A and B are shown apart, each in its own frame.
Chain A
């Protein structure tokens, strides 16, 4: 064992050595070690380089608040994670870890020149340095920022792990399994309540794990803890370890992230790496404890300088001495106990340096008993040592004057600036905080949630106080849940309570401008930066934060916020509460994307809706495109065909003989009831009263603002029944809109609305041979021009299947849409496919559908309209039932702006040179006008693969309907294209081809 591993101390199992690598070198730790404790046991403090100045850094803490010791961890391909805190990652045999932010090596890092260029990187340097000249941006500044920004490296391989998510309900959720959390759990559990107790550590106990000398109810702390955990489990308490409460959401929903495998050498089969819990709790107890503050002095970031309480944790919990010759620098009693513990474990404590003039006599007695030199009224002004602290300079302070310094040799500096209650989750609840002058910190005040806060997180120090408060708060939540609990008392001995003072920077004899006294280690923010920010005009703490980036790193200022506030307040000459505290936001600690994504990854990221014919399309080589949540066949390329080739062939085949198209994704709504026709009259722009049963009509839906929302063919299946179709993407929106009007504006109408999109499979047949194919298969209606004219619909039988047959056309050819019950869709398709071989039946996809409809000037809502287009703008005034007293949009269409001249109107465009226009391209009247030109519209649809022999386009153009025949111009990057405004119908304007 190394000289830093103390036998008989700690909870690690030194009889079970664990080997792992750090930067390629193999180290041995003990079962139960973290990467940080194992490296410290090997005498290694240097674990990383800082973000901005690339200064050498070691761990400053022992828990999840650690800002410095960020490492990459690897477990084979795809299992790499950057920025893992070495203080949290447990070691296992074979774990590979590496340091970050260094090149070529941790001990010699080229980026450390930034440290010498310190003046360049002061507060606001991003804003100041990268100002001018403009030409520097692309080639100098941006590459520099991109190269320098970020900690660690993102993994590039796909994450092979899986992540689970679950819901949980409980009476009481307790966050933090330290003394107050344990006591609260007992108080609630003995009353039979369902209690969940979570802690981010691998084991319950909190501060008890670092304070084994405490005796509770006559038992040593660890014996009491073990028994208490068992007792709580026996009472039914669910104790979840390695589980971080990451966020507190509305109405007592708390997000938990449970880490299940990161500590295991062998990954168990079928176990997720992490599990995200959504817990809805009747009452929540926040018992998150307190975090120790660093002291702010020159060189307080050198490896070997760490929090005194963390050194105590390394010793008592992990059996590791962080140094054999430490110096303690403090403004709080708690660090004295760290000195005593380390001395008792064999360290030669060089000195206890306390900024205060006097401390409790008992502390001095204990120090004397251990032969530790004490320096009261002293400050620390510098440390030295290249990659590890080797000296600290301390100076007496008399009447505010800093005297001359003395250097003390050491191999570690243990500092304490007092403690900050952990108020993160409390802040998530929008809880209010109140400044406490005595403790120089914010304490929790009121929260709108059903939540209490207990123990050190509300400023109570010591195990006894925490246990008492936990029990008390536990009884409070029991009472809030309608039960009455008995009071529980704990007898505590050898507790260590204490007091201290809270500081801004420590007094120094150095020039303040040269001091590198760090406040935020992770973002390399110094006290000087904060004061500079105030000098440069920042007044609010929110501005100081953003200007300096203090508290904006991944640790969210857990250690830096109060020190930063103390310094900014001092610089502003204001009290801390007047300057304010920045807001803590979720998550409490960095959380993986995997945990948030849970099951929603890959093909499960979003629902993919498929029709009954989708599989056939896939088997026949279809290329697909997403439309809404649907996967739709886009085109059906034959071997060697490009998309254009395939679409040209599909268009031609449909116009010449017969095309078959899967239209199942069309939205379908069944509108039924005695008032169905009245409802349709009010909803759609068209009149419906005179539409006979067995006839259908193109319907246009507007909003009450007069703009087009949706369209579709609507068939009257009976006096009281309409088969409404909507656009593929608009189905849910249209149904919601119909329900809204029906339920809230016209509750007097007796109508039922039912979504039937997924109940029908819809196959469209288009082409001169469509009727010939279908006629022999249809029973119940004759497919002649007389018996079943264009825009007819009927319930009949097709190929033996019950069907709703529509004679409609979205291509300009003879067209039918056959609706059959969805499960029969594939059978219908294949029957038509087989029967259609004699006509060279050709499957086509959405692209051909788009081309053929554009040739006929049929609009696509959302492509040729954009939410500002009226039926009149679109040239479809004929679809507006002007005689109706009211419909949704009627009054809107009469708004002054909607009847004004110069609105953008839908027209056709033919380029003069025969080139294809680009969809979205802007249109101008005069191409010679100075830039910026006045844009008068844009191209909405454009195709050059159709059957008209030349490219065609649709466009919205200002006053377009009055400009037929005029030339407009479309400026492109390389040239300007002239185009002639035409009508929107490019093919068969007489509709001759619709006749059988």
Chain B
């Protein structure tokens, strides 16, 4: 069972307190009506199926209730980092460097 660091509570807690919430950094267009059918389809349905570090969202459901972002390696299941929603995408190279 994974241990997950909630960036809001600043605590590392068991996986059962959290819920997975899909790929991260997919922003809802500000004016959906102006978006083409193809772009809207991509926003709704098209997701990366990454082997390796994956930007994804989690919610500290049974804790503070906040949604946050994480980078998790889908091969090893290891979390490289977690960070607050709205924060910029962390640089992958520096993350994997730090892990070495």
Contacts and interface: CB of A to CB of B under 8 A. Distances in A.
Contact of A886 (B27, B31, B65): B31
B77 interface: yes
Contacts of A886: 31-33
A277 B3 CA distance: 17
A890 B33 contact: yes
B35 interface: yes
Contacts of A249: 1
Contacts of A891: 29, 32-33, 35, 40
Given A250-B2, A891-B35, A892-B40, A739 B65 contact: yes
A251 B44 contact: no
B33 A251 contact: no
B33 A885 contact: yes
Contacts of B37: 895-896
Interface in B48-90: 57, 59, 61, 65-67, 76-78, 85-86
B28 A745 contact: yes
A747 interface: yes
A13 interface: no
Nearest to A703: B44
Contacts of A890: 32-33
A743 B67 contact: yes
Contacts of A885: 31, 33
B88 to A, nearest CB: 14
A890 B65 CA distance: 27
A448 B78 contact: yes
Interface of B: 1-3, 19, 21, 27-29, 31-33, 35, 37, 40-41, 43-44, 57, 59, 61, 65-67, 76-78, 85-86
A744 B21 CA distance: 12
Contact of B44 (A448, A704, A740, A894): A704
A348 interface: no
Contact of A250 (B66, B77, B85): B77
Nearest to A746: B28
Q: How large is the interface on A (under 10, 10 to 19, 20 to 34, 35 or more residues)?
A: 20 to 34
A701 to B, nearest CB: 16
18 contacts: A253-B1, A430-B76, A448-B76, A448-B78, A739-B59, A740-B21, A740-B59, A740-B67, A743-B66, A745-B28, A747-B85, A885-B31, A886-B31, A890-B33, A891-B32, A891-B40, A892-B44, A894-B33
Contact of A743 (B19, B31, B85): B85
Contacts of A892: 40, 44
A223 B86 CA distance: 64
Given A740-B59, A886-B33, 17 more contacts: A249-B1, A250-B1, A250-B2, A250-B3, A251-B2, A253-B1, A704-B32, A704-B43, A705-B44, A736-B19, A743-B66, A743-B85, A745-B28, A886-B32, A890-B32, A891-B29, A892-B40
Nearest to A249: B1
Interface in A890-910: 890-892, 894-896
A886 B35 CA distance: 12
Contacts of B86: 744, 747
A169 to B, nearest CB: 11
Interface of A: 249-251, 253, 278, 280, 430, 448, 704-705, 736, 739-740, 743-745, 747, 885-886, 890-892, 894-896
B98 to A, nearest CB: 16
A887 to B, nearest CB: 9
B32 A739 contact: no
Contacts of B44: 704-705, 892
A600 to B, nearest CB: 14
A466 B65 CA distance: 49
Contacts of B28: 704, 745
A251 B67 contact: no
A745 B41 CA distance: 18
Given A886-B32, A891-B33, A892-B44, A251 B21 contact: no
Contacts of B85: 743-744, 747
A249 B77 CA distance: 11
A892 B28 CA distance: 12
B65 A895 contact: no
A736 B77 contact: no
A954 B32 CA distance: 34
Contacts of A736: 19, 59, 61
Contacts of B33: 885-886, 890-891, 894
Contacts of B29: 891
Contacts of A448: 76, 78
Nearest to A740: B67
A885 B21 CA distance: 27
A738 to B, nearest CB: 11
Contacts of A250: 1-3, 77
A280 B66 CA distance: 25
Nearest to A250: B2
A911 B66 CA distance: 51
B32 A251 contact: no
